Amino acid sequence: MSARHQFAFLAAALALAAPAGAQTFDIRPAGDVLQGRPVSVALTSLKPGQTVEIAAERRFGRPAAVYRSAATFTADSRGRIDLAKSAPTGGDYRGADPAGLFWSMKPTQAPVPADWKTGEVRLTASTAGAPVATGMTRLLGFQPGVTDEAVPGFPAARLYRLPGDKPRPVVVILHGAEGNTEASERYGRKLASLGYAVVGLPYYSPDWGQYGPPKAIKDLPGSFIDIRVDQIADLRAQLARTPGVDVSRIALFGGSKGAEFALIAASKYPWLTSVVAFAPSDLVWEGWGLEMVEAEGARSSFSFEGKALPFMPYVGFVEGLQLGDRADLRKIHEDGRAKFPEREAAARIRVEDYEGPLMLIAGGRDTLWESGRMARNVEIARKAKGLRTTALIYPDAGHDVGGDGWAPTIGQVAHGGGSAAANAQAQLDAWPKMLAFLEATLKP
């Protein structure tokens, strides 16, 4: 632990022995909190008009680093600073925001103390550079006790749930273009903590040969070509043989290419209870993989019952591969759509064939593809048939609208557009609405 950290916590210990009126943090709820649930942070017993800097630090990321944010506040007439009501006069975010210090954190070069627990957020209030109060909350990724087991017949798939024999409704997580288990790990235990039987279903493990890292899951397709949508029906059959799982209530939860997958599946399977689609597509798109270097425009991303689905080709995909992270993926998609308008009708996902409830969440500044506009297209097609559709489209947000708004968002901007603030605000609004949607549709 650095000398600065030791000094801050020594100051806090001394503050405990201070007379009544010493500045203190009022953090509610006290103790551990499942991340995504609101946390109230206030600083009390200040002098009215007193200027205070509040800093927040957290161990975060892979590899772990110390992330930090700070903002300056002026105490109100009662000598109080409440993050939900007090707008900072300077610092890492603007406007009154209960989560502002949490999402605006940035990585530092500070060494990570060995005793720093995952999710632990340390708060320090300082006046003129001297610490006057410290506080702490811990944001849990999931509740203790969530179990994790393999799903027979599905490579690297995991079933997460709380203990007990009560049949639980199912949420199936469908990852995006990153493949592998990242989405399962991000959401699986967290959603299971809310009472669902959650299946993380990897269906693609990138294999770029000598041009990329080794393939992570050997028994999954290494190219995103003709991915079997009908494996959802196979999964349902397997789960029907699993005690404690209620397959009469199944929701799909997909982001990006996983949202494309989810919407296609919904158009084929009326027995799906509900669908949540983050950064979705209204079309089936061309597939990709090493073989596409020789056959650009020839293969679909998805198949159903042994037949490749009609798709919209890209334009410039191979050139994009050569550019790597500098590729303009949004342009590659939009140029394809502009060049092949005659293919749009066949490639369009028939979302109106699914009569169940659907939630769409997207950003208007998505730099990977036009998810905001495509979400609106889906909404229009369904509302024309009077189908229950909720579209949450945030004009200034980017591709990553699937978080809860209580974790640093700075890393999402380079990946998918928007801004740290706009992405966080979208997540803070959408996450509780999404949870309420699942609750209403799966636990009526």
Residues forming the active site: 256, 366, 399
The residue written with tokens 């027995």 in the block is: 271
Beta bridge partners of 90: 72
Strands of 147-150's sheet, edge to edge?
A: 147-150, 158-161, 197-200, 168-174, 245-255, 274-278, 358-363, 389-394
Q: Which of 443, 441, 422, 440 is nearest to 103 (CA)?
A: 422
| CA dist., res. 315 & res. 435, Å (int) | 37
Amino acid at position 84, single letter: A
Calculate the CA dihedral of residues 418, 85, 433, 263 and round it to 10 degrees. Answer: 0
The residue written with tokens 């669902």 in the block is: 196
| CA dist., res. 275 & res. 380, Å (int) | 16
Which residues, in sequence order, are CB contacts of 70 under 8 Å at separation 6+?
Answer: 53, 54, 55, 56, 91, 92, 101
| CA dist., res. 441 & res. 193, Å (int) | 17
The SS3 call for residue 411 is: helix
Q: Which of 145, 57, 46 is nearest to 101 (CA)?
A: 57
Structural Rg of the chain based on CA atoms: 24
- 405 touches 380 (CB < 8 A): no
- 105 touches 121 (CB < 8 A): no
Calculate the CA dihedral of residues 109, 114, 118, 123 and round it to 10 degrees. Answer: -70
| CA dist., res. 74 & res. 96, Å (int) | 12
DSSP letters, 260-290, are HHHHHHHHH-TT--EEEEES--SB-BB-BSG
Phi, psi (deg, nearest 5) at residue 348: -65, 135
Q: For 24-166, where are the alpha helices, taking DSSP H only?
A: 100-103
- 190 touches 173 (CB < 8 A): no
